[in-house]
Amino acid sequence: MEDVPLLQAAGRVIAENVHAPWDIPMTDNSAMDGYAFSSTTSVREQWVVAGFIPAGSEQTTLVAPGEAVKIMTGAPIPPGCDTVAPIEEVEQTTNGIRLVAKVTSGAHIRRRGEDVRANDLVVASGSVLRPQEIGLMVSLGRTEVKVYRKVRVAILATGDELLDAGSIPVSGRIINSNSYSLAAQVLEVGGEPILIGVAADSGEATREKILEGLHADILITTGGVSVGDRDFVKESIQALSGELLFWKVNMKPGKPVAFAILEEKPVFALPGNPVAAMVAFEMFVRPAMLKMMGHTRIFRPVVRANLLEEMKNGGGRPHLVRMQVTLKHGVYMATSTGNQSSANLTSLTQCNGLMKLDANTTITSGSSAEITLLDRGFEMGETAYGTS
C-alpha cells in the first residue's frame, strides 16, 4: 500500500475506509437563485425584500416576518426562512416581491447532511476510485488516500533475431514488438511496465537478464520457452532454483506458457509469437496483476453473441478465436477476424473479443456463443465496429 495524492489515485483500489468528518452540506442552503422567506408570514403571498445573500456568505441575520432576502444557489438559508422561490416564479412589486406560481413550503432548500452525515462510511476499502469518489473525498477535506501499490512488471524479450524499436528489419531478423505490446497491456491494467531489454540466445545471458527482472514485482519473458535448441528460459529459471509450477497449456494460441516462482516473485514465461504472447498475457498475467492490486473483479465481462459465420476447430486443443463483436438493436453479433495465425498481429488489431472454441468442434452460423469482451465500454453497450 501507499499514500498518494488524490489525482494519482483515480482508477486504483483504495486500501482504507473513508468516513465523513462533517455533514454535506454543512448548512441548509439554497438550491436555486431566488428569494428566501418564511412561508407562514406573508401578506397575500407578498414580501418586502430586506437584503441579499450571495454564495459564500456567512450571514446569520434573522429575517423578520413578512420579509424576504434575495439568495443565490449554494448560499446559506438565514434564520427566519423556510422556503426558496426561484426567480422565475416571482415578480417585482413596489415594495418587494410576490409569487406568480405555487411554491410548496420548504421548497428548493438543500438540508444539512442530506447528502452525507458526519461519520458516514462514504468510500469502503476495496473500492475502485472513480472521478466521483475523488470529488467526494476532496469535498471532505482529503488530499491523499491510501491505495494498493501499482504492480511493477519487468518485461524481458529473448532472441538474437530481435532488433530494437525504430530499426529497419533485415532478412532473418525482426523488430522486438512484443516488449511494447506487453508493456501497453501492463499499462492498460494499471501497472508500471519496466522494459529490461533483450536476452541473447545463451543460458548465461538469459539467467543474467532474469535476475535483473526480479527487482520488479512480476517478471514476464517472451520467447525462448518452447522446445527449440535455443529456448533457454525454462531451463534458466530452473537453474536459478525457481519452482516451475506449470509448462504448456492446452490452448491455442499460447501453448508454450510457463509459470514459476523465483525468489518469491511470479515469473510468466510467454511465447514469442506476438498473438500468442498477448493472448497468454490476457489469460494469465492480467488477472494476477489485478489481484495483486486489490481488485475483486479480475476477469473480463462475457456476453452471448450470435455468430455470423460457421466456426470450426478440427484440432486437438481449444482455440481462442479472435472475434469482432458488434451490438445491433440490443443483440451482440460476432465474426472472426480472419487469419488466426499466432504471428498475425492484425488479427488482434481488428479484434475486441475472444471466443473459446473447443477441440474438434463446429458451431454453425446463426448459433450463439459466449465471447469474452476485450474492449472497455462494451459492457455499457457501446460498439467498436460499425453502428447499431
Non-local CB neighbours of 201 within 8 Å, separated by 6+ positions: 158, 159, 160, 224, 230, 232
User: Residue 329: which region, alpha, beta or left (left: phi > 0; alpha: psi -120 to 50)?
Assistant: left
Non-local CB neighbours of 68 within 8 Å, separated by 6+ positions: 35, 36, 37, 47, 48, 49, 50, 81, 96, 97
From residue 173, alpha-carbon distances to 221, 225, 277 in Å are 19, 19, 18
The answer to whether the Cα torsion of 94, 97, 98, 100 is positive or negative is positive
Q: How far apart are CA 266 and CA 301, in angstroms?
A: 25
Q: How far apart are CA 86 and CA 160, in angstroms?
A: 75
Q: In which residue are the cell numbers 511470479 written?
A: 266
Q: Strands, E, within 100-207: which ranges?
A: 109-110, 121-123, 144-147, 152-158, 162-163, 174-175, 192-199
Non-local CB neighbours of 124 within 8 Å, separated by 6+ positions: 14, 17
Confidence at residue 226, expressed as pLDDT on a 0 to 100 scale = 78
**Is the preceding peptide bond at 79 cis, omega within 30 degrees of 0?**
no
Query: Any bridge partners for residue 69, and if so which?
Result: 36, 51
Confidence at residue 382, expressed as pLDDT on a 0 to 100 scale = 46
Q: In which residue are the cell numbers 529459471 written?
A: 237
Q: Return residue ranges of the chain for CATH 2.170.190.11.
A: 29-110
Q: How far apart are CA 323 and CA 150, in angstroms?
A: 30
Q: Strands, E, within 218-352: which ranges?
A: 218-222, 243-247, 258-262, 265-270, 302-307, 311-313, 319-328, 331-336
Write the DSSP symbol of residue 215. T
Q: How far apart are CA 106 and CA 363, in angstroms?
A: 64
Q: How far apart are CA 277 and CA 299, in angstroms?
A: 18
Do residues 145 and 9 lie in contact, with contact meaning Cβ atoms separated by under 8 Å? yes
Write the DSSP symbol of residue 380. G
Per-residue pLDDT of the chain (388 residues; tens, 9 = 90+): 999 999 999 999 999 999 999 999 999 999 999 999 998 876 667 899 999 999 999 878 899 999 999 999 999 999 999 999 999 999 999 889 999 999 999 999 999 999 999 999 999 999 999 999 999 999 999 999 999 999 999 999 999 999 999 999 898 899 999 999 999 999 999 999 999 999 999 999 999 999 999 999 999 999 988 777 778 999 999 999 999 999 999 999 999 999 999 999 999 999 999 999 999 999 999 999 999 999 999 999 999 999 999 999 999 999 999 999 999 999 999 999 988 888 788 888 999 999 999 999 999 999 999 999 998 655 544 444 433 3
Query: Which CATH number does 29-110 carry?
Result: 2.170.190.11
**To which H or E segment does residue 143 belong?**
none
Q: Return residue ranges of the chain for CATH 3.40.980.10.
A: 152-292
**In terms of DSSP H, where are the helices of 51-142?**
131-139
Do residues 240 and 262 lie in contact, with contact meaning Cβ atoms separated by under 8 Å? yes
Do residues 99 and 106 lie in contact, with contact meaning Cβ atoms separated by under 8 Å? no
Confidence at residue 376, expressed as pLDDT on a 0 to 100 scale = 64
From residue 17, alpha-carbon distances to 121, 124, 147, 150, 343 in Å are 7, 5, 11, 19, 46
Confidence at residue 273, expressed as pLDDT on a 0 to 100 scale = 92
Q: How far apart are CA 211 and CA 205, in angstroms?
A: 10
Class in CATH terms, 2-24+127-147: alpha beta
Query: Which CATH number does 152-292 carry?
Result: 3.40.980.10
Closest CA to 83 of 25, 31, 24: 31
Confidence at residue 387, expressed as pLDDT on a 0 to 100 scale = 34
Query: Which CATH number does 302-380 carry?
Result: 2.40.340.10
Confidence at residue 40, expressed as pLDDT on a 0 to 100 scale = 86
The predicted model scores a pTM of 0.86
